[in-house]
Amino acid sequence: MPEPFFSNNLGQQLKVLNILFEKDMNNGLKQLGITLTGTQTAVLMQLADRHPQQLTQKEVETTLRLSHPTTRGIVKRLAATGLISTTPAADD
């Protein structure tokens, strides 16, 4: 009898678990009438934790271990909904 595909690969098992958890969280948010993803919610939580200090996109990337394009997309969508505002950094 062949071994199950993920039987000896903890990394793959964790990835599948993460996907299932994120789907469940997104569905739960949707049922509450919140049209945000889990990742968008995590960014908002970071902002709330840092308030009134500003949070840079680089800090979001590092903390949530996201790529720059993913972070940029999340920030753009949150700004488009009016949930956040963005300003260029003085040293940018």
Single pTM value for the model: 0.72
The distance in angstroms from the start CA to the end CA of the chain is 59
pLDDT, tens digit, for every residue of 27-75?
988 899 888 888 999 999 999 999 999 899 999 999 999 999 999 999 9
How many residues comprise the chain? 92
Which residues have a Cβ under 8 Å from the Cβ of 5 and sit 6 or more positions away? 12
